[in-house]
């Protein structure tokens, strides 16, 4: 299926009850449960999930070339959630021109979580390889980078990370899945 067709149809089906082709926005903050307290529709409270969020995730997964997707309130929230899943003592490689908010998090928050962040030029594969350590758990890639728009060989950096036992994470904000699908590289 061509990307354009996938973009129109991914995660979407018309409403069986009304025939509506535009997905509804569910504004409820809480959802019904049966007498045993089990959620009737799979959702309990809006901070955890809601039908609108689930439909967006169902649409994004195939667009990105993934099996599943999770959405967050912001890219920073997504990144912080990933980093907080790392064990203390983990080494994290960040682009030397990483998004400013993430740079600040690396300087101010990571140490409190027991993480060590190191900035490296992600467009220099030799520098990336030299910066990897046995305790490197995550390599954060932005391509194109923010703010300098450096283009990184995502597949090559991911191979280096994988060989070192680290996970690579790609911030694909600028390229979007229309132009780059890191999960397929």
Average pLDDT score over residue span 7-22: 82
pLDDT value of position 65: 93
Please state, as a whole number, how many other Cβ atoms lie within 10 Å of the Cβ of residue 138: 20
Spell out where the chain has E strands: 91-95, 116-120, 136-142, 167-171
Say which CATH topology domain 75-184 has: 3.40.640
pLDDT value of position 41: 84
Q: Distance between CA 47 and CA 32 in Å, rounded?
A: 15
Enumerate the domain spans of the chain.
1-67, 75-184
pLDDT score of 96 more than 90: yes
pLDDT value of position 48: 85
pLDDT score of 22 more than 90: no
Average pLDDT score over residue span 62-75: 93
Q: Distance between CA 167 and CA 150 in Å, rounded?
A: 21
């Amino acid at each position: 299926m061509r990307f354009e067709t996938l973009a129109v149809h991914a995660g979407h089906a018309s409403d069986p009850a009304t025939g509506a082709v535009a997905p509804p926005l569910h504004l409820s903050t809480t959802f019904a449960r049966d007498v045993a307290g089990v959620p009737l529709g799979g959702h309990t409270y809006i901070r955890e999930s809601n039908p609108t969020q689930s439909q967006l995730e169902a649409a994004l997964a195939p667009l990105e070339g993934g099996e599943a997707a999770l959405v967050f309130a912001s890219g920073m929230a997504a990144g912080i959630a990933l980093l907080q899943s790392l064990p203390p003592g983990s080494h994290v490689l960040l682009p030397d021109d990483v998004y400013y908010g993430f740079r600040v998090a690396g300087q101010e928050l990571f140490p409190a979580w027991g993480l060590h962040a190191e900035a490296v030029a992600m467009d220099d594969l030799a520098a990336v390889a030299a910066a990897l350590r046995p305790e490197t758990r995550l390599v954060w890639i932005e391509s194109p980078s923010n703010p300098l728009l450096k283009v990184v060989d995502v597949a090559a950096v991911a191979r280096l990370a994988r060989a070192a036992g680290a996970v690579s994470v790609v911030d694909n904000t600028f390229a979007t899945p229309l132009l780059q699908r890191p999960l397929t590289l």
